[in-house]
Structure 1
Amino acid sequence: MKFGMVGSIGFLADAGLFSLLFYLGDWAPLPARVVAFLFAATVTWCGNRCFTFTHCQHVAKGKQWLKFIVVALLSAIPNLIVFNLALLVLGTGGIAALVALAFGVLAGMVSNFLLSSRWVFPP
């Protein structure tokens, strides 16, 4: 439950920065998605460290963040594949890019949780 709550905040950070870069900054979808993804990964690492997996706060922050980014990058594979497929189907007009982003996030969420709970924040 806590992982999902932190993930929701991460999704808002992801969607917010993506929207700023894509809709207001006129960035191409993929570069905007990558930058927003890395930002959201850092936001969710902070939330998970301080709220979800508090038993792991003794681990060095830099080492733990790096492990979390590795997990996020691995989870980015299904995330970005689904994002790009959804863009192909939906296009980029209107809110279609945000819908594609949401589908991508859902695709990467399962692997992110499994890897995070077992390797980044082990019991």
Structure 2
Amino acid sequence: MPALLTRARDAVNVLYREMIKFGIVGAVAFVVDLGGANLLWHTVMPDKVTTAKIISGVAATLVAWVGNRAWTFRHRRNRPVAHEVSLFFVVNGIALVISTATLAISHYAFGFTGTLADNIATIVGIGLGTLFRFWAYRQVVFAREPIATEQRADSEPLPCDPDGVEPQRTDSEPLPRHPDGEVAS
């Protein structure tokens, strides 16, 4: 039972650290997105709110890719980079559609055309897209590949080596940890 509690605590700690890092990267991307949209709305694209939002959203996506790959989810690198980046941009494309649709509905369908209304709609849309992104990054983009396990008669399952060799560990040995503090699986 203590091993189960330790595993649960470690899993919560990893989730907490990922959420904090994701939030910091997201805050930087948010500034790029909202700041870029406002810059474009007030200079070269005053009548093209959705086009400006798409451009700023793409720039923010690039910032988020670098931050999340290099920092937030760096311990979850299991896939070839080309596959991971494809998934990342598909997920962010969906999130960009969510945030742009929120702005377009507010601006064109409801007629809220002022700068304040456009900013509020953009913030709401980014928030909805962020909820979707966090879930999708953990479940799809930076997901861990399943690890084969074998059940020992006297304890919980142990991960198997790719060659099928069970690692030797006694219950008194601490679980190996990743440099970020995460328990290695």
Q: TM-score, normalised by structure 2?
A: 0.59
Give the CA deviation at 1:10.
0.6
Q: How many residue pairs are counted as aligned between the two chains?
A: 123
Taking the aligned partners of 2:63 and 2:52, their CA distance within structure 1 comes to 17
- The structure showing larger relative contact order (alpha-carbon pairs under 8 Å, at least 6 residues apart) is 1
Moved more, 62-71 or 100-109: 62-71
SS at match of 2:45: coil
Which blocks of at least 5 consecutive residues in structure 1 are unaligned? none
Indicate whether 1:31 and 2:21 are aligned.
Answer: no
Matched, 1:75 2:76: no
Note closer, same or farther for the CA distance 1:56–1:18 as it changes in structure 2 (3 Å cut).
same
1: CA distance, partners of 2:29 / 2:21: 12
Whether the aligned pair in 1 keeps the contact of 2:50 and 2:103 (CA below 8 Å) is: no
Report the CA distance between 1:84 and its aligned residue. Answer: 2.0
1-side partners of 2:58 and 2:102: how far apart?
Answer: 17
**2:35 counterpart residue number:** 16
Amino acid paired to 1:17: G
1:100 positional shift? 1.4
Percent identity of equivalent pairs: 26
Any conservation in 1 of the 2:87–2:141 contact (CA below 8 Å)? yes
Shift of the alpha carbon at 1:83?
1.9
Return 68-77 or 81-90, whichever deviates more: 81-90
What's the secondary structure of 1:92's corresponding residue?
coil
Q: In the aligned structure 2, how far is the partner of 1:62 from the partner of 1:71?
A: 14
Residue 91 (1) aligns with residue 91 (2): no
Query: Alpha-carbon deviation of 1:31?
Result: 0.6
Q: Aligned to 2:60, which of 31, 40, 44? A: 40
Q: Please state how far the C-alpha of 1:44 moved relative to its aligned partner.
A: 0.6
SS of the aligned residue for 2:115 comes to coil
Aligned to 1:64: 84
Larger radius of gyration: 2
Contact 2:77 2:142 in 1 (8 A): no
Aligned counterpart for 1:112 among listed residues 133, 143, 150: 133
Identify if the C-alpha distance between structure 1 residues 94 and 80 changes in structure 2 by more than 3 Å, giving closer, same or farther: closer
**8 Å CA contact 1:50, 1:57 repeated in 2:** no
- Unaligned segments of structure 2, at least 5 residues: 1-19, 145-185
CA 1:30/1:117 → structure 2, altered by over 3 Å: closer, same or farther? same
Write the deviation string for residues 42-67 of structure 1: whole angstroms up to 9, x where unpaired.
Answer: 11111111121111457544432221
CA distance in 1, matches of 2:43, 2:81: 33
Q: For residue 119 of structure 1, report the CA deviation from its aligned partner.
A: 1.4
Equivalent position of 2:147 in the other structure:
none
